[in-house]
Structures are given as C-alpha cells and as structure tokens.
Structure 1
Amino acid sequence: MMNLLIALFNLRVTQMYGVAIGIWRKKYFQDDYAKWWMDKKRYPADYLRFLQFQAIQFRRCRHRLLRDSQWNKNDFDLVTARTANELSDLKSELQEMLENFKRKEEDRQHRHDSPDDNKQKNREMDHSERTATPEYDLTQETQENRQIQTLLEELNERRNESVEKFTKLEERMTRQRRRIKDMESKLDKLLELAEQQHHAST
C-alpha cells in the first residue's frame, strides 16, 4: 500500500511538471507575437546596450550565486534566501550607479549654467564675431545628455520589472509550497487510513 501511494504521488508530480513545461513552451516559444527577441538582428540599439550592462552586472555576481547554489543545493529555502540577498545587493549597487549618473548630469548642467561659463561663452561669441568663425553648436552634447537620460529611465524600468518578476516568483513559490503541504497532509491521512485498515484486518 505504501509503495502504491508513493508511485501515485510520483505519477501526479510528473504529470504536473509535464503540463507546466508544455504551458511554458507554448507561451514563450510557440507564440507568433513573441518572436522578435529570438532574432538577434532585430534587437534595438538601446536594448543591446542594456543587455551588455546586464551581462556585466551578472558577471559580477555569477560566481557567488553559483557557489551558494552548489553548496546549499539540498536546502531550497536557504538557496532562495541567498539569491534574494544577492539580488538586493545588486539592486543597491545599481541604485548607486544611477545616483552617480544623475549627480554627474546635474554637475554638468550646473557647470553650463554657472556665471563663469556664461562669461566664457560671451568671450567666445565676441571672438567668433571678430574672427567670423561659425558659432559652436551644443546640439550634439544635448543629444548625448538625452541619450543618457533615456538610458537611465530604461534602467529604472528594467529594475522595476526585475523586482516585479522576483515578487511574482516568490508568490508562485509560496503557492507551490502550500500545494505540497496540502498533498503531504492528504498523503498522511491516506497512510493513517491504510494503517487503520491494516490493524482492523489483523
């Protein structure tokens, strides 16, 4: 009876795993509207820059995640906690980088708006008028500033998306744990009933 219950439990878990894998493949690989990211030639330039930045960040914490997962592979809760800590550290480092970028951008704008710069600009304008040379154009620098600003906004959006994905993953894990506990309780009840029937028959 015990072996039959264990075999039934293994069969049910295998069926659930197969259905979940099928749904995942159908959602992320067989959908016609989700194939733009499968072709690397169609990647936008901003997305490629974000992938490079993400690869650099992941390279920094990859060995730590690999070490924690290998050392504690039998304890799922501990691996989850250590992964959450690594992600929080990565988020804090990313936030510091964004703050540094913003600070540099503010310093650059402040230097452009300072009175010394205005005097220097006036001197350059007078000199250009006397020498009949074309005026210096700041459009390229403003475009670079806009690109930096858009990149910062994209990084913030990606960071928020990663936080949302992590919270959804935690919710799924909690639901899965509840299901496993329910199944374990049902199996315990079945075992108790089997033992009672065995004692009654003897």
Structure 2
Amino acid sequence: MFCEVELFRDVAVIAENLNRNGLVSQRSIITRLLEDMLNEKASKDHGYFLAVTSLKNIGKGEVVDESGDVFFPVVFNCRTFLPYTGEILQGVVSHIFRHGVFMRCGPIKYAFLSARKMPNYHFVAGENPIFLSDELAKIEIDIVVRFVVLGVRWIEKRGRIKKEFVMLASLVGDSLGPISLSGSDELDL
C-alpha cells in the first residue's frame, strides 16, 4: 500500500530563474521537482506519488541547447501509494448502479465493487439507490466500505482517465462491508 522509494529525475530550471551570476537556488530546483511530481501524478511501477520525503542529492547542472535552461540530476525519496491484490482497504462510495458501486480510495477514483461480489446485498432502486443486506446494512453514497482488492490495473490513457489505477473490489470475506455513516475523513488528492 504505502511505500518509500528512491527516485531519480532530471529537473529543468528555466533560464529566467538564474541569478546574475548564472547560479540557481536550491529552492528553485526543489520547487520545480515538486511541480514535476505533481504533474506526473503516478507511475505504473511505483503507484501514486504522495510526497517527497527527503532530498538525497542534487547533481551538477548542465546547460542544454541555446535556450539556456539548466538540467539538474536529482535523487530523492518519495512516499507512494500502490494497492495490491488481497489487500484490505477502505473506500467511500461515489456512485451506485444496478450492477455495483464505484468508490474512491485515497488517490484512486475508480474502485468498482460488483453486485456479484456483495453476498447477501440486494439493489434497491429509487431516487437514491442503495444496496441493502439481509441484516439491513446499507451501502449508499458517501458510506465508507471496507473491501478486499481483487485486482489492480494501470491505465496510461483512456478517455478522461490518464495515468490512473483502477481497482476491482469484493466484500467476500470476514469483517468487510460498510463501516460508518455518511461522511469520511478520507485523503482526497
């Protein structure tokens, strides 16, 4: 789930950020690194980039081409989030359909829980559709659900989804299902 990984990036600092002596402040390099990581968002191998936790090394900058931009090799540690099959997670229900529900789980926007993987739950149609269990537990919008991960897939780009992981979820197992009333203190990135 959460990992600490060492990463390497070439950080480009534009010529405008150079001072009169042609030097670049460490702050400019770090700011650019953080902007680059925010834009990159995630990678297939490491998962979602959550935070740069430590800076290990900033190498000597090299001027590339006539623009005057300077590239610095940077080595740093980064905290990441990458779920794996069999892991128990929690998600907040965002959409309910006859065939299942979509949940958000941290930075993952698309965790699908099929109606087939919700034993003893039945779809109840209406203005605010829900899934209701034989024990009267409800799965509705904004409810936190504990689930097991059945599978994780990386999607580089498909329609509106770019550099995202999607998950398949299940409630088959012990202590799985809705765990709270509406609302959550989930991390929304």
TM-score between both structures, scaled by the size of structure 1: 0.22
Higher helix share: 1
Higher strand share: 2
